[in-house]
Structure 1
């Protein structure tokens, strides 16, 4: 065709180039001593519409990547403060069990570790000041502890007094891993008494580098306060119905300390412009502009900690939509250097509703854990109000959801593009949740057969506290 000629209709037209293929950036895995997985709830979202998704982070040390014996031999001094309730309700076998457990822990501490023991009632006192463990001091410290709590337990309960004094003893230690074990069998009726105030006390301890694990003894302690302290200070909450398993609980805590491979873990999620926080589930956090900052504390060999946040995503055009950048920093005790992991997450926006992805199976499992914890807490409130039938109905409703989600997750994991870097057993995870919910309802039924009101009966009180401890475990 000559210049100026009109193109004929049957001349071939140049084809539009195909749209670039979008890369899936809805997951990442990175790390060395600690492995960090980031995951969006939806890899594909609807374009030009306001949407919601979840962002999930899993931080763990993999046993096949870190030699456990090597972690034990890498010496990081432990600074342990044992804070024991010495109020009137701790008379008799309860306190003897607590002292025996503390003595056993002191015997297992390594030379070079430090320990202090504090007792509290209406006020707190130092039973053993900060002392470095050695072959010469170990048995002497146990004798001093026995002498220091020789007077009969008496008075009211100031839990915050015990925490404050325990933290003051830890402030005199050398650099290392700081842990407080807090025992109580009663209600806080002196000092800080409300949950909000107790969270502030625990947060202050956490900000000073200490983890607090709380242990409720018998069935009359305030499980909400003790659980809140542990969650706020990156610890665990335990329930000891009789006190006979206190030594086992102390051993579990010590095992996590002597196999610690990282400390001062901090997760920072920086949201992309326009993305907003709808809800942070389970964990304490701070938000500064677009950054969500989550302290995660110390990690032992084989330990896993997770974070889940629900996000609002604004209307976005077709194509890749950045959601967040994830940074996890920590003090690497295995490599003796600072550690840092980084990853970015983005969703692919599509104009076709049928292409929108269902909620990711792994995120679904973690969301279900959070909702199971919430269900147990809601059932406890209803049961305490004498509304046992409503408590059971709440548990039953979530049990039905668990079964449906287990089936849905099973189908999702069979998809050809599903990838799980850690090989999780999601079916087992859902079964554990269902088992705990079944036990909760069975405990409520047993309490109904007691001669006194169900919520005031020993079986009822014990079940409420078991539920609180299980809710704490599901929230980690």
Structure 2
């Protein structure tokens, strides 16, 4: 090849290389954007080694994380209904006035493309502002400020009206959610927890989610927690009414920055592993398959669950597909489902020491937290039934189980959980007035409900 031809090829190469480099940068940028603004799945065992001769309990953890930012995705229009309790008890502690201030503040965050409905309920439910864009803010503020506290609590009728308003304009291109606030017990109309939960579940299946806000000490925390979980939303316990504004603002921000909706996780264990206990709020077990509903996640939020599994005894060797994990979800503004999946293997070994050497201490630490909160949840339900001795027995047995997980039990976080559990165990038989007992029960149950996001 002569010198002229070599120089020609060099010039061509020098002109092409920058273009190739630029193309590679675009490819890498696209790849990074594609992974950064989508849901992430992480699954792991507390140890990928199992002692073949005497297998003990192990923990499988699944973590789903929403992206920190929504990238280039445009903000999806909101289709909201605020359903407010205006029963007589809302006059106490200035609760209704705090709610009014929070509702007006939320109103000011809406955009022209958003829709809003306002429903008040006491003996009956009233649609004060049918679902529509908020074009006359002063009129809306006047309606909110005119609310008065009187009558009973027809929570069911309030829910029905709220869902009807949102359903009229529910489309895949909008985020549809009902925000329900209550400070009391459902004592008029539908009063069954089961019927109310079924009502919410049916709407969630149609794409309308629900978040609940319990104010004060007299509301039914079991009901509000259950319908928020069934409704793919969040349950908030507001023991100080003056914090209503910041909490409603937090909920509005999470709806506005919704990253993934209707998240469902399915875990299928291999035949050599058995499900012993599931640590999640809403789940179903069918043999070796566990289905968990994580609901909706805003940008930067995460949900975590664990399964305590019991390995069967078998010979040493690798076990592929010990667990298969799949996640399905929707992106706001789209009706096309997306999915993630992962598969985990374990190794049965004759070397008992290798099991400990391969331990994931963070998974074990969180397992201890899950165990503690599960125990407190069960103990709280026993206290509700007046069975303090059973509550104390549940907490004592859980403490022994947690202490047996040596690496986790040594951590400050787990020690703090044990201290809280001991404190609750001591208070179970302690004489308290009704308000003290109600506050403690609500705090314990709310913590157990929220631990999924630990």
TM-score interval for Structure 1 and Structure 2 normalised by the shorter chain: 0.7 to 0.9
Give the SS at the match of 2:308.
strand
Return closer, same or farther for 1:294/1:183 CA change in 2, 3 Å cut-off: same
Q: 1:237 aligns with which of 235, 238, 258?
A: 235
Return closer, same or farther for 1:335/1:113 CA change in 2, 3 Å cut-off: closer
Alignment partner, residue 316 of structure 2:
318
User: Which segment drifts farther, 348-357 or 233-242?
Assistant: 348-357
Alignment partner, residue 330 of structure 2:
331
How far apart are residue 435 of structure 1 and its match? 6.8
- Write out aligned runs for 1:264-275 (5 A): 264-273=262-271, 275=273
How far apart are residue 294 of structure 1 and its match? 2.6
Report whether the alignment pairs 1:292 with 2:284: no
Alignment partner, residue 347 of structure 2:
348
Task: Report if aligned partners of 2:371, 2:402 keep a CA contact under 8 Å in 1.
Answer: no
Q: 2:40 aligns with which of 15, 35, 41?
A: 35
User: Which segment drifts farther, 83-92 or 238-247?
Assistant: 83-92
How far apart are residue 153 of structure 1 and its match? 1.8
Task: Report if aligned partners of 1:41, 1:363 keep a CA contact under 8 Å in 2.
Answer: yes
Return closer, same or farther for 1:364/1:190 CA change in 2, 3 Å cut-off: farther
> Which runs of no fewer than 5 residues in structure 1 stay unpaired?
1-29, 412-426
Structure 2: distance between partners of 1:334 and 1:184: 30
Q: TM-score, normalised by structure 2?
A: 0.77
Return closer, same or farther for 1:367/1:409 CA change in 2, 3 Å cut-off: closer
Task: Report if aligned partners of 2:66, 2:301 keep a CA contact under 8 Å in 1.
Answer: yes
Structure 2: distance between partners of 1:359 and 1:315: 19
Give the SS at the match of 1:408.
helix
Alignment partner, residue 447 of structure 2:
470
Alignment partner, residue 58 of structure 1:
63
Return closer, same or farther for 1:50/1:162 CA change in 2, 3 Å cut-off: farther
Give the SS at the match of 2:191.
coil
How far apart are residue 343 of structure 1 and its match? 0.8
Q: Deviations over 1:181-227 (max 9, x none)?
A: 22111122234434444433333233222332221111111222222
Return closer, same or farther for 1:164/1:365 CA change in 2, 3 Å cut-off: farther
How far apart are residue 389 of structure 1 and its match? 9.0
Structure 1: distance between partners of 2:313 and 2:397: 34
Task: Report if aligned partners of 1:262, 1:334 keep a CA contact under 8 Å in 2.
Answer: no
Structure 2: distance between partners of 1:91 and 1:100: 14
Give the SS at the match of 1:465.
helix
Structure 2: distance between partners of 1:291 and 1:241: 38
Q: Deviations over 1:255-275 (max 9, x none)?
A: 212222222322222333464
Alignment partner, residue 137 of structure 1:
136
Task: Report if aligned partners of 1:46, 1:356 keep a CA contact under 8 Å in 2.
Answer: yes
Q: Deviations over 1:12-49 (max 9, x none)?
A: xxxxxxxxxxxxxxxxxx96422210112331224477
Q: 2:218 aligns with which of 192, 195, 220?
A: 220
Return closer, same or farther for 1:52/1:372 CA change in 2, 3 Å cut-off: closer
Give the SS at the match of 2:223.
helix
- Write out aligned runs for 1:107-186 (5 A): 107-133=108-134, 136-147=135-146, 149-150=147-148, 152-155=149-152, 157-173=153-169, 174=171, 175-186=173-184
Report whether the alignment pairs 1:376 with 2:359: no
Structure 1: distance between partners of 2:373 and 2:233: 16
User: Which segment drifts farther, 260-269 or 383-392?
Assistant: 383-392
How far apart are residue 325 of structure 1 and its match? 1.5
Return closer, same or farther for 1:108/1:399 CA change in 2, 3 Å cut-off: farther
Task: Report if aligned partners of 2:364, 2:407 keep a CA contact under 8 Å in 1.
Answer: no
How far apart are residue 110 of structure 1 and its match? 2.4
Return closer, same or farther for 1:377/1:183 CA change in 2, 3 Å cut-off: same
How far apart are residue 454 of structure 1 and its match? 1.1
User: Which segment drifts farther, 100-109 or 326-335?
Assistant: 326-335
> If each structure's helix is expressed as a fraction of its own residues, which one has the higher value?
2
Give the aligned CA root-mean-square deviation in angstroms: 3.6
Report whether the alignment pairs 1:433 with 2:422: no
Structure 1: distance between partners of 2:175 and 2:416: 32
Give the SS at the match of 2:108.
helix
Alignment partner, residue 9 of structure 1:
none
Return closer, same or farther for 1:395/1:137 CA change in 2, 3 Å cut-off: farther
Give the SS at the match of 1:340.
strand
Return closer, same or farther for 1:105/1:279 CA change in 2, 3 Å cut-off: same
Give the SS at the match of 1:409.
helix
Give the SS at the match of 2:233.
coil
Alignment partner, residue 185 of structure 2:
187
Give the SS at the match of 1:464.
helix
How far apart are residue 250 of structure 1 and its match? 0.1
Return closer, same or farther for 1:87/1:54 CA change in 2, 3 Å cut-off: same
Alignment partner, residue 364 of structure 2:
364
Task: Report if aligned partners of 1:183, 1:216 keep a CA contact under 8 Å in 2.
Answer: yes
Give the SS at the match of 2:75.
coil
Give the SS at the match of 2:241.
coil
Give the SS at the match of 1:84.
strand
Structure 2: distance between partners of 1:384 and 1:292: 29
